[in-house]
Amino acid sequence: TQAYTSYHQQLMYCMIQFVSKDHVLYTPIARGVLKYWPVGNAFKEIVFLIVLEELFEYVLAESDLAPVARTMGLRLGKCMSSIQQQVADRALACWNSPACVRVMNTYEKVGQDMFDLIRPNLVATMLSHWNVLTQQKARTAYKTYYNMGYEKAGNALDNVNDDNESELNSDESRFHKSQSPKHEATLCGSDNNEDGQEDKEQQQHAVHVEEGGGGGGMGGVA
């Protein structure tokens, strides 16, 4: 893994250097990334998603993205609905990144085509992904493109009723609370109190046993 990461960083640096000098190279590089996508390997998928996000910075014409828009949209959609949380989160981060939003907002035809491909997976993740934080990120991404006017089938957020909204916010609040240092300190303090109480009870028990043993000895002498 370390060797792969080191190699990949150098390779990505080279790709970015080429694209930054000539944006026309975006198409063959993006096509190559999508062609050799590491399906089933979560770690490598995350790395490839980072590459796609970086490459969006260098899209300077609609003709750069159009040839690979369909393949990229399908791949991003599949990653968004991945049961592997980190893959889903990274795909959502890529789709909702400032660079990607800029490109989709500038080249509306390509943006609409990609949104239509991604929408089923995005909505499914938003409504039913097993991780509550991933659901929230999907909703944020959906709202971004809804506000940009890409949604033609009606607001999918209407399918989320108030009860689900409250439950989602409650679950998210509990998750953040469980990760806070104060919460951990409270748990540690509770454990210490329980240990102290247990030690105290053991000491009291030992004293009673000692007194009982001493009384029996005196009775025997008498």
**Residue-wise pLDDT tens digits, 48-82:** 999 999 999 999 999 999 999 999 999 999 999 99
Q: What is the mean pLDDT of residues 22-35?
A: 95
- Report helix angle 26-35 to 42-55, nearest 10: 170
pLDDT tens-digit profile of 156-201?
888 665 445 544 455 445 544 544 455 444 444 545 555 555 555 5
Q: What is the mean pLDDT of residues 42-52?
A: 95
What distance in Å separates the CA atoms of residue 43 and residue 52, rounded to the nearest whole number? 15
Q: Which residues contact 201 (CB under 8 A, 6 or more apart)?
A: none
pLDDT given for residue 2 in this prediction: 73
pLDDT tens-digit profile of 104-157?
999 999 999 999 999 999 999 999 999 999 999 999 999 999 999 999 887 888
**Which of these ranges, 23-27, 59-63, 202-206, has the smallest mean pLDDT?**
202-206
The DSSP secondary-structure symbol of 24 reads: G
pLDDT given for residue 208 in this prediction: 54
What distance in Å separates the CA atoms of residue 82 and residue 39, rounded to the nearest whole number? 11
Query: What tokens does 85 get?
Result: 């949380």
Q: What is the mean pLDDT of residues 29-34?
A: 96
What distance in Å separates the CA atoms of residue 197 and residue 93, rounded to the nearest whole number? 48
pLDDT given for residue 58 in this prediction: 95
pLDDT given for residue 152 in this prediction: 84
Q: Which of 160, 125, 165 is nearest to 141 (CA)?
A: 125
Contact (CB, 8 A) for 112 and 62: no
Measure CA of the first residue to CA of the last residue in the chain; give whole Å.
Answer: 80
pLDDT given for residue 178 in this prediction: 46
Q: What is the mean pLDDT of residues 92-107?
A: 97
Q: Which residues contact 157 (CB under 8 A, 6 or more apart)?
A: 126, 139, 142, 143, 146
* pLDDT range class, residue 9, cuts 50, 70, 90: confident
Question: Does the pLDDT value for residue 203 go beyond 50?
Answer: yes
What distance in Å separates the CA atoms of residue 200 and residue 133, rounded to the nearest whole number? 43
pTM of the model: 0.72
- Report helix angle 26-35 to 2-21, nearest 10: 150
Question: Does the pLDDT value for residue 205 go beyond 50?
Answer: yes
Tell me the one-letter amino acid at 10.
Q
What distance in Å separates the CA atoms of residue 207 and residue 130, rounded to the nearest whole number? 54
More confident residue, 116 or 215: 116
